[in-house]
Each structure stands twice: as C-alpha cells, then as structure tokens.
Structure 1
C-alpha cells in the first residue's frame, strides 16, 4: 500500500459526492468519494492511500487526459516477475510502488533513473488516516 502525506486544501460537495483536493509536497492531488472521512476538514493533515495496482505509468506523455492526478517521478527500481513488473518510483519526498504487466514494462522499455509520469484516478485515491482529527 502506498502512503502519501498531504494537507486538505479544498472540499467540494453535492449530496453525498465529494471532491477533495490535497497538497502533497507541492503537488495537487484530487480524491473523489461518497462520504467524508470522520474528522476531515479544510487544512487537515492526512495520510493518503493508493494501491500499487492503481498507479499507472506514462512515458513521454503529451495531450490531455482525464486523470486528475499526474505526478512527475523517477524510476528507482524495477523488479520483473513472470507476469508483472514491480516498479518503485521516487516522487518528491515519497516513494510510490506500481504494479504493471511485464509486457507493458518491456514495451515501454522502462529504465532505472528515467523520468515518467504517474497517473492515479481520483476515484482510486483514499484517506487512510486523518492525523489531526
């Protein structure tokens, strides 16, 4: 499980649906969810969670995407298995793990030290813990 420290900068809501914006080491992240986690408010310090299987990787990205969360990262390590690649990426002050298929890793010719873009859908980001609740 990936864990990122962040601060709530905006909360938008309509009925039970909420879009929450976070500052994560100077990068903006958005989360879409039905109910607000208990104790969450503007300026709350939180730990965000992202499953490694929900972190996509783009190389030489250009054009517009619907992904709200696009973070620049450096590939720190690549472990290839028979079917999957476990990619460790360094994003500012954090490390993020991504599981992608081995065929995608090979097709993209991913290399340690290479700059890539992490893509995370707003619906895949969640609050693991509200630190100041």
Structure 2
C-alpha cells in the first residue's frame, strides 16, 4: 500500500460527491470521494494520509500527456521481477511509491533503475485517512 502525508487545501462538493485537493510537499493531489458523514468530516487544513494500492498506479514516459491530475515524474529505484508482474519502486520526495505492472509493460517501456518515469493514480482510487 502506498501512503503519503498531505494537507487538505480545498474541497469541492456536488450532490453526493466530494473532490478533495491535498498538498503533499508542494505537489497537488486530488481524491474523488463519496460525500462524508459527520463522523468523518473532512475540512480544509486537516492533515491526512493519502492511501492507494500498487495496482492503481500506472507508469508512463515522462513526456506523456494524461488527463489525470495525480501525475508526477519520479526516478525508479528498484525493479522486482516476478513470473507475470513486476514491482517498480519510485522515489517521490523521499517516499517510496510502488507500481505493480505486467512484465510485458515493463519491457515495452524499457524501465531501468535510475530512469525517470511518470506515475499516475486516478483520483477515485485515493483514500484519505484523517490524522
């Protein structure tokens, strides 16, 4: 599981949905959530953990243009090959981000330790934990 510490800077609501914007060391992340109840009230200024699975992280070349706002460039620090999948570790501001991709994608992208790649996670896959 990937976990980053952030601070809520803005919340937009529409009917039963919330789009929550968080600052993680100067980088803006967002999370699309169902509107929360009073027991877990999210507010601007709150510190939260951003939590997302390795299987929800996509890799792309650094010059790729994507529609997703949670899109950042980081350096590959480790590649662990399995029979079908490869676990790619990236350094994002000193935090380890893991991406689980197929071996075919690993070879197609020509991933190597030390290379920079764009990693992407959909806003609907980011869960928040109030700190």
TM-score by length of 1: 0.92
Per-residue deviation, 1:93? 2.8
**Distance of 2:64 and 2:15 partners within structure 1:** 35
1:25, 1:93 within 8 Å by CA — same for their partners in 2? no
Please list, as runs of the form range in 1=range in 2, the aligned pairs for 1:82-93 lying within 5 A after superposition: 82-93=83-94
**Distance of 1:15 and 1:124 partners within structure 2:** 20
Give ranges in structure 2 of 5+ residues lacking alignment. none
Please list, as runs of the form range in 1=range in 2, the aligned pairs for 1:14-25 lying within 5 A after superposition: 14-25=14-25
Per-residue deviation, 1:40? 1.7
Give ranges in structure 1 of 5+ residues lacking alignment. none
Aligned residues: 129
Runs of 4+ that moved beyond 3 A? none
Partner of 2:108 in structure 1? Answer: 107
Partner of 1:30 in structure 2? Answer: 30
2:64, 2:118 within 8 Å by CA — same for their partners in 1? no
